[in-house]
Amino acid sequence: MIDAILHQTADAEAYLPMLSATLPANREFCRRHGIRLEAFIGIRRGCHPWHAAFNRLAFLRDRLAEGFRGWAIYLDADAFVAEMDFDIGAYLAARAGSALVVPPGAGRGDWDVNSGVMLWNFAQAPARLMAERWIALFDAIPDAALRQAAAWDEVENDQRLLHRVLQADPALTATIHRESDQLIGYQHSRFIKQFVRNEVHTQEQRVLRIARQVAISLRRAGVAPVVDAAQVMAAHELLTGAPPPTLEAAFAALEAPDLPALAARLRGA
């Protein structure tokens, strides 16, 4: 049994379909490794759909309140575990001296981290201090300002608030382990993938791409994919330009694509 909890969240409107697409993979991973799973749908504080991005702070607040000293793993609604049998116990043990594990950011500085995939080691005091300061910055935003912030970033978003915490204290920043993007945080990552927003795909296309990869990951792990078959077949048509004759044909084609041609189609989608 690993002393860890994995949390995902989404609002009940815009990002719920994305959470529904990634949750089956994360649920299966947690089941295999004895990790506690928590999913929250809605908005813990705020009133507009994008305010669900701040739910991750409520998750950390809950862990602080209960005196938790394990690993608090947070994954955005567009992130999921793609390798079900990854040895998470050994991985976390090897990083027991770090306060926080994150994928590399945009490279603007040591403080530039992506808050979409985070593994918090609450056994480390710097992790708890980072979380407390991050929460405090959010608490300082007036309710009236949140009510007026209907569009993304009309108040400082969660990631920018975390950047402020890290920029103010390089000693805290030094306790962070930046993992390789080959392992976590991006759609090409082996262990934890994240399909972040881009200028190429619509929200619906993004959900289909996620559903397709989740289905493949579960299938490779010997699990009957807990996804809508229509989604998998729609993903096949989106990614290849042709409808599959059967669901099995869709899986076969999606698991062994012509990657250059696939990339070209995606750029044109």
The pLDDT of 57-66, averaged and rounded, is 98
Radius of gyration of the chain from its Cα atoms, rounded to whole angstroms: 19
All residues at 6 or more sequence positions from 136 whose CB lies less than 8 Å from its CB, including other chains: none
The CATH code that applies to domain 4-178 is 3.90.550.10
Measured in degrees and rounded to the nearest 5, phi and psi for residue 102 equal -140, 160
Question: What token pair was written down for 225?
Answer: 């994919």
51: nearest Cα among 143, 179, 123: 143
**Lowest-pLDDT choice from 144-148, 151-155, 187-191:** 151-155
Q: Using a CB cutoff of 8 Å and minimum separation of 24, what contacts does 126-132 make? A: 126/99, 126/171, 126/172, 126/175, 127/99, 127/100, 127/175, 128/64, 129/172, 130/99, 130/100, 130/162, 130/165, 130/166, 130/172, 130/175, 131/60, 131/61, 131/63, 131/64, 132/64
CB-count burial class (<10 Å; 0-12, 13-18, 19+) for 1: exposed
Residue 262 has pLDDT above 70, yes or no: no
Residues 185-235 have pLDDT tens digits of 999 999 999 997 776 678 888 888 898 899 889 988 988 654 456 666 777
**Residue 260 pLDDT class (50, 70, 90 cuts):** very low
Identify which has the larger pLDDT, 226 or 13: 13
Question: To 5 degrees, how large is the angle CA 211–CA 217–CA 218?
Answer: 90
Residues 70-118 have pLDDT tens digits of 999 999 999 999 999 999 999 999 999 999 999 988 888 899 999 999 9
Q: Distance between CA atoms of 102 and 73, rounded to whole angstroms? A: 10
Question: What token pair was written down for 46?
Answer: 């705020």
**Residue 263 pLDDT class (50, 70, 90 cuts):** very low
5: nearest Cα among 63, 67, 91: 63
CB-count burial class (<10 Å; 0-12, 13-18, 19+) for 264: exposed
SS3 39: strand
Q: Distance between CA atoms of 177 and 101, rounded to whole angstroms? A: 5
DSSP secondary structure, 128-149, as one string: HHHHHHHHHHHHTS-HHHHHH-
For residue 10, list its beta bridge partners: 41
Pinpoint the residues of the chain covered by CATH 3.90.550.10: 4-178
Question: To 5 degrees, how large is the angle CA 64–CA 124–CA 159?
Answer: 65
Q: Distance between CA atoms of 223 and 28, rounded to whole angstroms? A: 9
